[in-house]
Chain A
Amino acid sequence: MQLNNWLNRYDPGLNRVRDASKSILAMALVALISAPWLGLVATVMGSLSAFFICLSHEGITPRQQLVSMGYAAISFALCVFLGVLLRPTPWMAQGVLIILCFVAFYLRRYGPRFVIAPVFAAITYLLVIMLPPLGPMTLPQMMLAVVLAVVVAIGLHFVVWRPSGIRTFQQQLWSLLSRYQVLVTGLRQCCEQPRLNADQCFALKALVNETEAHFRQLYAHLGRYAYNQAHQAALHDWVQCQYTTFKTLQMAWESILQLARQQAQYAPERRQALIAVLQCWYDALSSLSLQQRVALQELALDSTQLQAVTQAFTQVIFSPDAHVTAYFVYWSNITFACQRMIEKLHDVVQQSNRCRSIRREALQ
C-alpha cells in the first residue's frame, strides 16, 4: 500500500512504472531467447533494440502506437543493416553517423513520434559500427535479433501488457489530488507548530514545484489523449479546473505562511478553526479516489468547520480597531480559499464527468 502511494505520488497514472517494467522485461526476454542461438554481439544488439522499441510507443490509440513502433523498428533494422555493411570502411561509416545525427534531431519537427526513436536509431548505428567484433557474416544474425526484438516488444506492449491511453491520463489527473493531500497535510502541520519549520517549508516548496512540473507534462500531452476537438476542449477544461484548485491551495499556503510569521497576532482559537478546515479538505481529498469520489458530495455539505473560519474573519473585520493590514488580507485570503476549495473539488468531479460523457459519445 505504501509502495503504491509512493509510486502514485512520483508517477501519477503509473505510466513510467509500466514503461520501465515493459522495456526491462523485453530486454531480458530477447537476451534469454537469443543468447543460445545468435552469439554475444547479436544478443546485445537485439536486447538494446527491444529496450528502445518498447520506449518508442508514441500515440493515443493503439493503432497510432503500433505505427510509431513500426517506424522505430524499420529505422533500427535500417541502422543495423547500414552499420554492419559500412563498418569495414571507417571513414564512410563515420560520415554516415554524422548525417544520421543531423537527421535524428531534424526529424523532431514532424512531431512527438520522431523525438526519441530517431536518436535511439542513431545510437544503435553508433554501437554497431564501434562495438567489437563484427563482420558482414554476422548480418543475418543481427537482423534476426532485431526481428526478435520487434516481435517481443510489440507482443509485450499490445498483447501481454496493453496500453491504457485515456485511462492513464485520467489517472494522472486524479492522482494530482494525492499531491494536494500532501500539500494540505503540510499546511496543517505549519498551523499546528508554534514556529515555522524551515525544512518543512522547503519540502512544501519542492512539492509545489513538482506539481507545476506535473502540470507542464499534462499540458504538453493533452492533444495525445483526445478523441476529437470537443473531447480535447473538455480535457483542457478539466486540467484548467485542477490548475485553479492548485492555485487556490498555493494562495492558502502563502497566506498561512505569512500568518505564521506574525506569531503575536495568530490567536490559538483561529488557528484551531483553520486546522479543522484543513482536516476537512484532507478528508475530502482522501475520498477522491476513483472509486469513492461520490462521497465528496456528503463531505462538502458538512460546512460547520468553514463557519468557524468565517467567524474568525468576522471577528477580525468587525473589531473596532480593524485596518486593512496584511494580517487582515491574509485572513481574507484564507477564508476565501476555505470557502472555495470544496467548490473547486466539485468542479473537478463535474469536469471529469463531462469528459467521460463526451468520450462516450465520440466512441459510439
Chain B
Amino acid sequence: MKLSNETKLGLRAAVATLVTLLLTTHVFHLPRSYWAILTTMALVSASWGETVMRAWYRIGMTIVGCVLGTAILWWLGPNEWRWVILFVTSWVVVFYLPVSYAKAMFGLGVAIVMMFSLIGMWNNAMLLERIYETIIGAVVAVLVTRVVLPQQAQSQVSILKKQAIDAMCVVLQQCRDRPEHLAPKQLAQLNQIMVDLSTALNNAQYELFFIPKRKQGVQAAIRQLDIAHFYLTQLANAWQSVHTAPLMQAFAQLSTSLISHVATQAMHIAQGMPALPQWYSLHAATLQAQFTQTRSANQYSAEAFMLVTAYFYWLQRVDEVLAQLAILSNKQ
C-alpha cells in the first residue's frame, strides 16, 4: 500500500510526539515536558533536511534568545518593561516566522523568558531546563524523521532536477522543430520547476552537512541548471526578434546546427546518456570566420550583431552547462 505524503507526515509526527512524551514524562520525569513536546511538534517537517535545518536553528536560537532574555532581566530587574519586551518579541516571532525560522526562534526565546518572568517563575534553573528540553525535543524530531517513513530532500532534488532537464529538453526541441513559434507554457513550467528546485535544494543542504563533497556536487549542478535556465529565459524572450533579424540568414546554417546539437544534448542528459562534445569546440573556427566575413560586408547594424552574438552565446552556454551537468551526474 502506498501512503500519501501527508499520511507519512502525520505518522511521523505522532511517533515523534509519543517518543518525546515517553522520554520526558515517563523516563526523565521532567517538570515542563511540554517544552520538549512542543519543540518536537514544531520541528516535524515534510523532509529530513527541513527538520535538520529547523532543529539546528531552534536549538541555537533558543540558547541565544533565552540567555539574552535572562541577561536583560538581570539588567532591568522585574519592572513593567518586561511587558513591552514580551509584545515586541512576540511581534518579531510572527513577523519572521514565514521567512526566517532562526530570527523567529530568537524572538520566541526572549518572549518565553519575559512571559515566565511576568508570572514570577523564571530563574537560572529554568533557563537550563528550557535549553535541554529543547535539545531533547529537537533530537527526537530529527531521529524520528530520519527513521520513520523517511522523505529526503535529496531525492526531491533529484526528481526535480530530472524534471527541469526534461522541461529544458521540451523547450529546446520546440526551438528546433518550430522556430517561428515558442510557446510560453513550457517555459512557465520550467520556471515553476526551478522555483521548487531551489526550495528543495535549500533543505537538502542540511541533509548533506556531513558529506561536503556531495553537497558541493549538488550545489554545483543546481547552479549550472540555474545558469541554463536564465539563458533559456532570455532566449525565449528574444526568440521572435532573432528569427526575424535579417543578419540571421547569414548564420542560418550554423544556427540550425547549434540548436539541433543543444536539443540532442538535452535529450542525452535527460535520458542519462553520455554527453556529446560541445558544439563550440567543433565549430569555433567556422563561427569566427562567418562573423569576420559578415562584418566586413558592412551592411548590418550593431544591434543585429548583438542579437546574433547573444543568441549564439546563450545557446552555447546552455550546451556547456548541460555537458557539465552530465559530468557532475556521472560523478555522483
Contacts and interface: CB of A to CB of B under 8 A. Distances in A.
Interface of A: 10-11, 16-17, 19-21, 23-24, 27-28, 40, 51, 55, 94, 97-99, 101-109, 119, 122-123, 126-127, 130-131, 212-213, 215-217, 219, 236, 240, 243-244, 247-248, 250-251, 254, 310-311, 313-314, 317-318, 322-324, 328-329, 332-333, 335-336, 339-340
A107 B33 CA distance: 26
B233 A244 contact: yes
B94 A106 contact: no
Nearest to B89: A24
A106 B6 contact: yes
A94 B99 CA distance: 32
B41 A328 contact: no
B81 interface: no
B209 interface: no
Given A213-B99, A322-B295, A247 B230 contact: yes
A219 B195 contact: yes
Nearest to A7: B95
Interface stretch (B9-17, B66-74, B257-265): B9-17
A248 B234 contact: yes
B9 A97 contact: no
A216 B198 contact: yes
Nearest to B16: A101
A250 B198 CA distance: 16
Nearest to A240: B188
Given A97-B21, A98-B18, A318-B302, A105 B38 contact: no
Contacts of A250: 230
Given A20-B95, A247-B234, A98 B17 contact: yes
B17 A97 contact: yes
Interface stretch (B122-130, B303-311, B320-328): B303-311
14 contacts: A17-B95, A19-B94, A98-B17, A99-B14, A106-B6, A106-B9, A122-B41, A123-B41, A126-B41, A240-B184, A317-B302, A317-B305, A318-B295, A336-B306
Contact of B34 (A109, A127, A313): A127
Contact of A11 (B25, B95, B229): B95
A27 B90 contact: yes
Specify which of B10, B34, B191 lies most central, judged by the most chain A CB atoms within 10 Å of its CB.
B10
B95 A216 contact: no
Interface string B111-135: 0000000010000000000000000
A123 B108 CA distance: 15
B230 A23 contact: no
CB-based closest 10 A-B pairs: A106-B10, A20-B94, A314-B302, A102-B14, A109-B6, A105-B10, A329-B313, A332-B309, A130-B34, A102-B10
A102 B11 contact: yes
Nearest to B298: A318
Interface residues of B, number: 59
A196 B92 CA distance: 35
Nearest to A214: B99
Given A105-B10, A106-B7, A216-B195, 8 more contacts: A98-B14, A99-B14, A107-B6, A126-B41, A219-B192, A324-B288, A332-B309, A333-B313
Contact of B94 (A23, A131, A219, A310): A23
Contacts of B191: 240, 243
Nearest to B98: A16
B158 to A, nearest CB: 20
Contacts of A339: 303
B41 A109 contact: no
Contacts of B305: 317, 332
A335 B14 contact: no
B57 interface: no
Contacts of B307: 336
B221 interface: no
Contacts of A21: 91
